[in-house]
């Protein structure tokens, strides 16, 4: 099968590649065309996943397709953007029908979930790697950036943290767990669900936001730096799942939640007056601390005493 047939068969024919709102022209021409309503801005983000670095070489292709898109769309969620379209630059050692079929299905599955369309890409031969670029839209001036946190704001997260990091020894088949626990943790690794609706709900409310990809401490450090403030995190308020506690123990679970990464949940700062409305609307947010004068991230215990920071998140070239 040649390059063009491959593109047609696996990608152009996928349900998520069909025309839809906001996409004036999809796969097949030299460029795709996006149609943006007057008064809206385009949010754009690119992520590359390399075999052997970001996922095991032998990763299940369905799960890989699903996860690759989820991780990219999470950046749109973090800005409060509504997903519009994405491109896929795929480098493959060989065109293996079985692999491509499953990968395209996984991608399509997550694309349907996120209501985002495949609008183009590139297909080349080489060591397996994926580059996804996502496009989203939002009203001009309403993006949730990292630099708006203000002293007195609450620090919140969009749910339990650490499950995906806890799942890593299971992904790498270094450890086993009883089925119920393994299933819960692996689902959070392979199928993180970008918090798109939460991001939209936070427009005009959250003062700063991002999605947690490198670990809570490292990512809060980004907000602290960009906003020139200190973020104080109360260790006992950091939410972790019962599955993670059972698998990693209390201390291990906390370590995963603080430094593990791969959560793809939102972390954001919020002026306190918005908290009640958001909680009443049922958003799964948890207050884990506050914004103070200073710099960096301070972890404190129940009495407000500083706790030594465990090692920070993953960094390439670190
Ligand atoms: P060009 O040579 O003009 O860059 P290509 O031959 O690379 O075009 O691609 C032809 C069309 O197929 C383009 O619309 C491109 O966006 C799309 N395409 C190529 N690879 C992929 C892919 N992996 N997934 C989705 N669309 C793709
Ligand atoms: Mg090309």
Give tens-digit pLDDT for 164-179.
999 999 998 999 999 9
Residue 311 lies in a domain: no
Write the CA distances from 155 to 47, 187, 196, 211, integer angstroms. Answer: 26, 26, 19, 13
Q: State in Å: Cα 2 to ligand 1 middle.
A: 13
Percent of the chain at pLDDT > 90 equals: 92
User: Is there a contact between 33 and 24 (Cβ–Cβ < 8 Å)?
Assistant: yes
β-pairing, 266-270 with 129-139?
unpaired
Count of domains in the chain? 2
Mean pLDDT of the chain, nearest integer: 95
**Statement to judge: residues 202 and 271 lie in one domain:** yes
* Position 2 confidence tier, pLDDT thresholds 50, 70, 90: confident
**Statement to judge: residues 170 and 290 lie in one domain:** yes
Residue 11 near ligand 1, beta carbon < 6 Å: yes
Nearest CA to ligand 1 atom 10: 28
Q: Which of 28, 122, 123 to mutate to test the pocket of ligand 1 (most atoms within 8 A of CB)?
A: 122
Domain of 296, in residue numbers: 154-300
Nearest CA to ligand 1 atom 22: 121
Residue 33 near ligand 1, beta carbon < 6 Å: no
**Statement to judge: residues 133 and 158 lie in one domain:** no
* Position 1 confidence tier, pLDDT thresholds 50, 70, 90: confident
Per-residue pLDDT, averaged over 254-267, amounts to 96
**Statement to judge: residues 158 and 283 lie in one domain:** yes
**What is the per-residue pLDDT for 310?**
73
Q: How far apart are CA 100 and CA 96, in angstroms?
A: 6
Residue 121 near ligand 1, beta carbon < 6 Å: yes
Residue 239 lies in a domain: yes
The CATH code of the domain that includes 27 is 3.30.1330.10
In sequence order, what E strands does the chain have? 23-25, 33-34, 40-50, 82-92, 117-125, 129-139, 154-157, 208-211, 230-234, 266-270, 286-292, 296-300
Residue 310 lies in a domain: no
Q: pLDDT tens, 106-148?
A: 999 999 999 999 999 999 999 999 999 999 999 999 999 999 9
Which residue, 196, 41, 48, is CA-closest to 114?
A: 196
Per-residue pLDDT, averaged over 33-55, amounts to 96
Per-residue pLDDT, averaged over 288-317, amounts to 85
- Judged on CB neighbours under 10 Å (0-12, 13-18, 19+), 284 is middle
Residue 263 lies in a domain: yes
Residue 266 lies in a domain: yes
Q: pLDDT tens, 190-236?
A: 999 999 999 999 999 999 999 999 999 999 999 999 999 999 999 99
Determine the straight-line distance between the first and last CA of the chain, rounded to whole angstroms: 41
Q: State in Å: Cα 47 to ligand 2 middle.
A: 18
**Statement to judge: residues 158 and 296 lie in one domain:** yes
Residue 120 near ligand 1, beta carbon < 6 Å: yes
The CATH code of the domain that includes 286 is 3.90.650.10
* Position 23 confidence tier, pLDDT thresholds 50, 70, 90: very high
Residue 88 near ligand 1, beta carbon < 6 Å: yes
Nearest CA to ligand 1 atom 8: 30
* Position 318 confidence tier, pLDDT thresholds 50, 70, 90: very low
> What DSSP character marks residue 308?
P
**Statement to judge: residues 234 and 107 lie in one domain:** no
**Statement to judge: residues 121 and 17 lie in one domain:** yes
Per-residue pLDDT, averaged over 145-170, amounts to 97
Write the CA distances from 150 to 81, 146, 273, 297, integer angstroms. Answer: 22, 11, 13, 14
**What is the per-residue pLDDT for 19?**
87
Q: State in Å: Cα 113 to ligand 1 middle.
A: 23
Quick one: how far is CA 132 from the chain centroid?
A: 13
Q: How far apart are CA 168 and CA 297, in angstroms?
A: 25
Closest ligand to C-alpha of residue 30 is: 1
Q: pLDDT tens, 76-107?
A: 999 999 999 999 999 999 999 999 999 999 99
**What is the per-residue pLDDT for 309?**
82
């Amino acid at each position: 099968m040649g390059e063009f047939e491959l593109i047609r068969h696996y990608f152009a024919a996928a349900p998520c590649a069909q025309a839809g709102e906001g996409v004036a022209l999809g796969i097949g021409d030299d460029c795709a065309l996006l149609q943006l309503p007057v008064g809206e801005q385009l949010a754009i983000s690119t992520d590359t996943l390399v075999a052997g670095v970001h996922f095991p070489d032998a990763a299940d292709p369905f799960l890989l397709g699903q996860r690759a898109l989820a991780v990219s769309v999470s950046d749109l969620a973090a800005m409060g953007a509504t997903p519009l379209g994405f491109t896929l630059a795929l480098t493959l050692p060989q065109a293996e029908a079985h692999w491509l079929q499953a990968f395209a299905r996984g991608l399509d599955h997550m694309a349907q979930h996120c209501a985002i369309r495949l609008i183009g890409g590139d297909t080349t031969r080489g060591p397996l790697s994926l580059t996804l670029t996502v496009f989203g839209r939002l009203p001009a001036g309403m993006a949730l950036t990292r630099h708006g946190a203000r002293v007195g704001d609450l620090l919140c997260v969009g749910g339990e943290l650490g499950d995906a990091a806890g799942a890593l020894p299971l992904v790498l088949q270094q450890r086993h767990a009883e089925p119920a626990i393994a299933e819960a943790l692996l689902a959070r690794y392979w199928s993180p669900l970008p918090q798109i609706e939460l991001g939209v709900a936070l427009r005009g409310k959250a003062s700063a936001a991002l999605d947690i990809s490198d670990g809570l401490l490292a990512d809060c450090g980004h907000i602290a730096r960009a906003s020139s403030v200190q973020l104080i995190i109360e260790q006992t308020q950091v939410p972790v799942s019962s599955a993670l506690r059972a698998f990693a123990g209390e201390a291990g679970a906390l370590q995963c939640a603080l430094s593990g990464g791969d959560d793809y949940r939102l972390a954001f700062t919020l002026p306190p007056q918005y908290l009640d409305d958001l909680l009443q609307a049922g958003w799964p947010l948890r207050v884990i601390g506050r914004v103070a004068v200073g710099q960096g991230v301070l972890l404190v215990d129940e009495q407000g005493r500083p706790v030594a920071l465990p090692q920070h998140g993953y960094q390439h070239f670190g």
